[in-house]
Structure 1
């Protein structure tokens, strides 16, 4: 296939590029030039946020476009309009965040979504992604695929969730860890997501799909214990009760990345219905492979860990960690 990737230099983009090239596809990357493009691709440069920024896309044709845009829906609208008669299938990487948070446990693609518009300018993340879906649907109809990703982990992660856990555990010592150990974690490896996007586009799938692994794929215990194993660190995981974490004033998800305490917020994030994508071939590699490959990427980095400028930094500072360890010590002595 001839594949156009709109934004191909950051986390998911390079994963799609690598997967497409491995399958023998011809790949074109359209981006702003802020980072080096992956090797082996045709490069088009432009900025979707400025007038005339789509000029490089005014000619040419592709079988598939994969769009990872997270900003104003109007930028997706303008791109989809321009490409509507020169692209066969348009894949928009959306998010499960299009559902009002938290969605109920087991929420599928037909759960309620936020009210947004394809003509909107800068809006919050949920409304941006929903507006982007509507923009692609307006111009591509049944040729539009909305891939509603959940938590994405793997090499090149630029939010810092799994990289933070790996880096902290690698330092060794006592590591405050939020329980219970058997609490489910629902995520998708970025490479499995990339593979599914290309397969689905090649088969002409349309509509919305929740794109994240099954709820029982792993647990917080298996994930963090695997981090200890792959780093070879002299680290002790100090398991805390969820209420102890909350009573210490530590924020789930941000200060303790990936983790949500049991309840409606955990259910909304880690218990979504992904049966539709699984039935259409979504395959999820073992958690040990995701963790090991992310650690290998971190060790090979020549510079700081990438960080998205539009997302807050995650992880515990020294004071918060100390509070949690004191709480753990109190539990041990009681």
Structure 2
């Protein structure tokens, strides 16, 4: 099979591996979780709404009767919830093999998280930044673990990191705010990979994007965007196809840290997953480092585990 035709059937056996998938109650997250469960991973659905999480787990069990699937309450718009969920996950799973930072919001009206962050930046970037940092010891304890963060073609659209007004308190533009959040996902991935590689960690960081997929993510879009998506819906990626870049980044044995996967078709809108290029801005090392520092300050999560590697054959240093 040609490399650009990678499909779910090529996922290696995930038996014995623990996968945490955020936003796994619907769309691409649910599809990702189902595919991993079908390949024998122990899958945790980390979702905001517990009832919807249980319904998603039942849906997975209906398709995969022997699935090992559980639900963890997680509200990425609340640092308190992230800390509580991370503590529960770390206790239940001393080793985590896959962290799929999938959940997100798009084009929302101006809203604030529980901690006062602009909702898209706070949920899509800061929430996953904090979650990754708090789960890092469990990730470092697993051989060949991966962190896969879902970005978007939106990281190229009116995208910049507005350090002078990260929370859009002066004026708000929902498209620019989404672009900032999705650019931040990539800056975080590349900086995390650099730091992991610098200490010889067994963990790698990768990113993916689904192309233009028919999911609930666009429910907050402007009316004209919804109308256009309705007209062109037959051309959009299905959730099954949209999940493939994430699944390839998470499971392909040939994937390496720092890679970015997306659809291989025209304009990366649809198609089977391949390694794609992100914007030059996303590779700005100074921008990556500055965002990392600001993110640590805003979340209070300092990635102290990067000072040690607790994988097989290694002893963690004391904090």
Name the structure where helix makes up a greater proportion of residues. 2
Structure 1 position 114 matched with structure 2 position 154? no
Structure 1 position 205 matched with structure 2 position 256? yes
Partner of 1:57: 86
Instruction: Work out the CA distance in 1 between the residues paired with 2:40 and 2:227.
Output: 32
Partner of 1:16: 32
Q: CA deviation at 1:191?
A: 0.9
Q: CA deviation at 1:193?
A: 3.1
Structure 1 position 90 matched with structure 2 position 143? no
Instruction: Work out the CA distance in 2 between the residues paired with 1:47 and 1:8.
Output: 12
* Partner SS for 2:206: strand
Structure 1 position 26 matched with structure 2 position 6? no
Q: 1:80 to 1:208 in 2, by over 3 A?
A: same
Structure 1 position 74 matched with structure 2 position 90? no
Partners of 2:213 and 2:237 within 8 A in 1: yes
Partner of 1:313: none
Partner of 1:306: none
* Partner SS for 1:124: helix
Name the structure where strand makes up a greater proportion of residues. 1
Instruction: Work out the CA distance in 1 between the residues paired with 2:78 and 2:269.
Output: 38
Structure 1 position 191 matched with structure 2 position 240? yes
Q: 1:161 to 1:213 in 2, by over 3 A?
A: farther
Indicate the larger mover: 89-98 or 71-80. Answer: 71-80
* Partner SS for 2:76: coil
Structure 1 position 278 matched with structure 2 position 306? no
- Pairwise CA RMSD of aligned residues? 3.6
User: How many residues are paired up?
Assistant: 195
Q: CA deviation at 1:76?
A: 1.9
* Partner SS for 1:62: coil
Q: 1:129 to 1:82 in 2, by over 3 A?
A: same
Pairing partner for 1:48 from 70, 76, 81: 76
Partners of 2:244 and 2:272 within 8 A in 1: no
Pairing partner for 1:128 from 172, 181, 189: 181
Deviation track 1:133-182 (CA, whole Å, cap 9, x = no partner) reads 2234444446111113320137x786467984499x9xxxxxxxxxxxxx
Structure 1 position 2 matched with structure 2 position 18? yes
Instruction: Work out the CA distance in 2 between the residues paired with 1:9 and 1:97.
Output: 23
Partner of 2:206: 145
Q: In terms of Rg, which structure is larger?
A: 1
Gaps of 5+ in 2: 1-16, 62-68, 105-119, 140-144, 169-175, 198-203, 220-225, 277-319
